[in-house]
Amino acid sequence: MGVDRTTCSNRCGHCKKLAPTWERLAKGLQRQVTVAEVNCEDHKSLCSSEGVTGFPMLFFYPESGKKTEYSGARKLEAMKNWAERAVKP
Handedness of CA 28, 75, 2, 46 (dihedral sign): negative
Number of compact structural domains in the chain: 1
pLDDT digits (tens, 9 = 90+) for 14-58: 888 998 999 999 999 998 888 988 988 889 999 999 999 988 999
Which one is predicted more confidently, 3 or 13? 13
User: Is the pTM for the entire model greater than 0.85?
Assistant: no
**Where residue 33 sits, what CATH number does that domain have?**
3.40.30.10
* Confidence band of 9 (pLDDT split at 50, 70, 90): confident
Domain region containing 22: 3-87
- CA distances from residue 43 to 49, 65, 68, 85, 88 in whole angstroms, order as listed: 10, 21, 20, 29, 30
